[in-house]
Amino acid sequence: MSPKVSDEHKEQRRQQILEAAKRVFIRMGYEAATLKDIVQEAGMSRGWIYLYFQTKEEIYTALMEKHDQETEGIFDALLAGCSSVWEALERMLQHEKEELTHIQSGMAPVFYEYFVTGWRDVSKREWLVQRVEKTMRKLVQFLQVGVDRGEFSPALPLELIAKVMASQFEGIMIHTLALGPKHADAYRQLDVLIAHMKSLLLPSK
């Protein structure tokens, strides 16, 4: 009889697969990567992989869900560690500004490749819509804390402010990926975005 595998060991295996897939996707891109590449990178048999995931796409979506969970944790940590909600928001945007330096060597190109090459796929678009809606709800909740504390006096509905922030940031991301930070003038664009958010959220004095 084979030894029973504990839940902890199963989760370790799953994370090992996800980390291997992340390295493969960053190195090769989503379309070029294959399940075989991930199997080889993980150092496991195909049978072991199939215990957790059946397709490359399942692995990718699991990676994105893990990323989203980590992002939610960042929201909460910022609120807990900053003296004001505006400080937390500014720190978050400043962090993204620093991340632009090595955006082309991370998962961002893989994310955009997945949706740009598959935008006609109804299931992919539905998943993206769900993902964006979930992110928007979290961002609105974050901004609502500022309203509840009397810090923010929003000039527009919070839902619209969240969408404006996300759309402008995504545009900067795409330009930076295509042109590089220097030619996209990404850092100054983010400075403008921060100033714009401040004008929409903080009461004029």
Residues 124-148: tens digit of each pLDDT: 889 889 988 998 999 999 999 999 9
Q: What is the reported pLDDT for 4?
A: 56
Residue 2 confidence class, pLDDT cut points 50, 70, 90 = very low
Average pLDDT over residues 172-199: 92
CATH superfamily, region 57-201: Tetracycline Repressor, domain 2 (1.10.357.10)
The answer to whether 135 and 159 have CB atoms below 8 angstroms apart is no
Contacting residues for 36 by C-beta, under 8 A, at least 6 apart: 46
82 neighbors 88 (Cβ within 8 angstroms): yes
Note the pLDDT tens digit of each residue in 89-122. Answer: 999 888 888 888 888 888 999 999 998 888 889 9
Residue 204 has pLDDT above 80, yes or no: no
Confidence at 168, pLDDT banded by 50, 70, 90: very high
Long-range contacts of 125-129 (CB under 8 A, 24+ apart): 127/61
The 3-state DSSP class for residue 79 equals: helix
> Whole-model pTM?
0.84
Domain ranges of the chain: 1-54, 57-201
Q: For the ranges 8-17, 69-78, 83-92, 167-176, which has the lowest average pLDDT?
A: 69-78
Per-position b or e across 120-129, b if 16+ CB within 10 A of its CB: eeeebeebbe
CATH number for 1-54 (one of 2.60.120.340, 3.40.50.300, 1.10.10.60, 1.10.3720.10): it is 1.10.10.60
Classify the C-alpha dihedral 60-64-66-67 as positive or negative.
positive
- To the nearest whole percent, how much of the chain has pLDDT over 70? 97
Whether 12 has a pLDDT exceeding 50, the answer reads yes
Mean pLDDT of the chain: 90
Bigger pLDDT: 52 vs 69 = 52
The per-residue pLDDT for 1 is: 42
Residue 190 near residue 168 (C-beta atoms within 8 A)? no
The arithmetic mean of pLDDT across residues 39-66, rounded, is 93
- How far out from the chain centre does Cα 26 lie? 14
Q: CA 69, CA 64: separation in Å to the nearest integer?
A: 9
Kind and range of the H or E run holding 141 = helix 122-148
Cα distance between residue 202 and residue 205, in whole Å: 9
